[in-house]
Amino acid sequence: MTNNIPYDEIISIQRKANIVDIIRDYVPLVQKGKNYFGICPFHDDHNPSMSVSTDKQIYKCFVCGNSGNVFNFVMEYEKISFMQAVKIVAEKTGIDIDIKTDNKTYIDNTYHRLYDIYDIAYKFYQNNLNTTYGKAAKKYLTDRQIDDSIIKEFNIGLSPNDSELYNILNKKGFTDNEIIESAICYKSSNNMYDIYKNRIMFPLYNLQGQVIGFSGRVYDKASENKYINTKETKIFKKGELLYNYHNAKALARKEKSIIIVEGFMDVIRLWSIGIKNVVATMGTAVTKFQANLINKMAPNIILMFDGDEAGNKATQSYLENFGNNMDNIKIVRLEDNLDPDEYILQKGKDKMLYHLSHPINVYDYKLNSLKENIDFSNGKDISNYINLMIPEIEKVDDDIVRDIEITKLSNLTNVDKEIIKSKIKTNTNKEIKYKEKRNVKSNKYEKASKYILYRMIHDTNMILYYFDNLSYLPDELDRKLANEIVLYYKKFNSFNINDFVIYLEAKKDLINLIINIDDLNYTKEELEDSIDNYFNVIKESLYNNQINKLTNQLKNETNEIKRKEIAQQIVEIKMKESK
């Protein structure tokens, strides 16, 4: 245990902290019974598989097995030390505490020179917008209903029509190679030039809120390239960011929903009318990385891609690739092929707010989108359409909702409900979302070890009894845990699993193991079994290991005297075992 802060003070912080409130700052949680469930941030999770218990003050993923207390969660999520996690939890709980930590930033500084270039560039662009040179650009933004508060909120700037930025970076000691690598400038005929010239500059951010790229828009002339976006660099990967993520994540958790749009101008326009729980995919097809981020932001997702056919295809692609849990996804389709930015400018705030308050579910979206090419006067087309919708109805678990959807399909096609029902398979084997990984092939020695550890956790009398009468378990990790339990009990003369997990700090293998063991369900009859029976099973394992080791030695030994000595040892062990 660290000397920075007394162990009992860390226990006090943990008891005052509400693990649900702390974890909810990172991952959306939904209450189901006594526990809360959310998307596990420690593996590629689609269905909520992480459980958070207020009673036990622990979290546990039933898929990847990651588990621990509130400090372990913050430590792993933020990728920081145990003491840094204690400090963060204390601050979130309103506890003033003096903990000495290294205060290292949580942001990867491997490419700090690139980050520095972008920091200088984005401040330079902002300053330009407020000069005499920026008047025309300011007027363009005002005409587009982007006022000073929005300009300030999104740090919009202006690039000049020269290479002044290169000169500034050069004077600050950045090499031409570093500047080229940043994709801010390019080299031609041994001269360096700024890539962005006479464009309004919109900064692009990584997940931590650092500027890592730009989108530059022309404003004073026609151009084939309305926007120029930063090409991918070592710090800018388009498929690994969501525009406005760093601003929207807390709001999305508060609102319990996140709105997904395509472009950053859509985000800015929605923000201007008070809709702030919104992120953009930057016009690309949603990647697996982005989908995982979206799932972890809020329990409810609203897809509002552009209203044209490309936006429709983007919606379908998202549902096909990432719509594992259809119940939490709603869809907004804007009329007249408009994107959200255009829609608000042309049709106004109220119509947009109406759409967002009346999104359709996935089933209705598919019901509408699939019927577009159906000839409802053609029996074959109607049959094909119903067959396309049947798998969607079969995904609905709620019997009432399922009946409503069947009624909709029946009314639309004029086909009797009972005929449609006859084609639907009853979903008797519903997916079990929370499956814990277990070793199906566990042998009697492993079972005995887990039973002994369980009894030690729940009955302090068993701790010293184990130490005095066995002090051995076949599996190395089980043995380490048992030893830690004994040492803890001898040190504190008591045992509490929550306090013990704090004592283990960052020993994740032992933490995961003890939480898994604590979750084992033994019957009353099993718990009344004599512990000595399980000790004898472990001793049998110990004897067998010793005999196997000696037998192998016997096979390789050529000296006849030593062979006799080994054989005698085997006999003595077998006699001891038979007693």
pLDDT at 500: 94
Alpha-helix runs per DSSP H in 433-559? 444-458, 461-469, 476-492, 497-504, 508-518, 524-527, 531-556
pLDDT at 99: 65
DSSP class per residue in 40-77:
-TTTT-SS--EEEETTTTEEEETTT--EE-HHHHHHHH
pLDDT at 193: 92
**pLDDT tens-digit series, residues 125-153:** 999 998 999 999 999 999 999 999 999 99
Whether the Cβ atoms of residue 345 and residue 145 lie closer than 8 Å to each other: yes
Residue 376 DSSP label:
T
Is the confidence at residue 480, as pLDDT, over 60? Answer: yes
- Exposure b/e, 323-340, CB count within 10 A at least 16 = b: bebbebbbbbbbeeebbb
Q: Tell me: domain 7-93, CATH 3.40.920.10, correct?
A: no
Whether the Cβ atoms of residue 238 and residue 287 lie closer than 8 Å to each other: no
Distance between CA 7 and CA 15 in Å, rounded?
13
Pairing of the two strands 278-280 and 257-261: parallel
Long-range pairs, 190-197, Cβ under 8 A, ≥24: 192/163, 192/166, 193/163, 193/166, 194/159, 194/160, 194/162, 194/163, 194/164, 194/165, 194/166, 195/228, 196/159, 196/228, 197/159, 197/160, 197/161, 197/162
**pLDDT tens-digit series, residues 61-102:** 999 999 999 999 999 888 888 888 999 999 989 888 776 655
pLDDT band at 122 (very low <50, low <70, confident <90, very high): very high
Residue 123 phi/psi, 5° resolution? -70, -40
Distance between CA 326 and CA 268 in Å, rounded?
28
**325 vs 440, more confident:** 325
Residue 243 DSSP label:
B
Residue 154 phi/psi, 5° resolution? -105, 10
CATH architecture of the region 242-357:
3-Layer(aba) Sandwich (3.40)
Q: Which residues contact 462 (CB under 8 A, 6 or more apart)?
A: 452, 455, 456, 531
pLDDT band at 445 (very low <50, low <70, confident <90, very high): confident
pLDDT at 575: 63
Q: For the chain, what percent of residues have pLDDT higher than 70?
A: 89
**pLDDT tens-digit series, residues 282-341:** 877 898 889 888 988 888 999 999 999 999 999 999 988 887 667 789 999 999 999 999
Distance between CA 291 and CA 456 in Å, rounded?
43
3-class secondary-structure state, position 203: strand
Alpha-helix runs per DSSP H in 80-196? 82-93, 112-129, 135-143, 148-153, 164-171, 176-181
pLDDT at 430: 44
pLDDT at 572: 64
Is the confidence at residue 262, as pLDDT, over 80? Answer: yes
**pLDDT tens-digit series, residues 353-405:** 999 999 999 888 988 888 877 888 888 988 988 888 888 888 777 788 889 88
The predicted model gives 491-506 an average pLDDT of 92
Distance between first and last Cα of the chain: 43
Whether the Cβ atoms of residue 200 and residue 156 lie closer than 8 Å to each other: yes
Mean pLDDT of the chain: 87
pLDDT band at 550 (very low <50, low <70, confident <90, very high): low
pLDDT band at 216 (very low <50, low <70, confident <90, very high): very high
Q: What is 112-236's CATH topology?
A: DNA primase DNAg catalytic core, N-terminal domain (3.90.980)
Residue 522: how many other CB atoms lie within 10 Å = 14
pLDDT at 440: 38
pLDDT at 155: 95
Among the listed residues 321, 381, 394, 443, the one whose alpha carbon sits nearest the alpha carbon of residue 46 = 321
Residue 403: how many other CB atoms lie within 10 Å = 14
Is the confidence at residue 211, as pLDDT, over 70? Answer: yes
CA angle (283, 285, 288) in 5-degree steps:
125
Q: So where are the chain's domains?
A: 7-93, 112-236, 242-357, 374-422, 444-573
Among the listed residues 43, 72, 48, 45, the one whose alpha carbon sits nearest the alpha carbon of residue 58 = 72
Residue 561 token pair: 């005297």
**pLDDT tens-digit series, residues 173-186:** 999 999 999 999 99
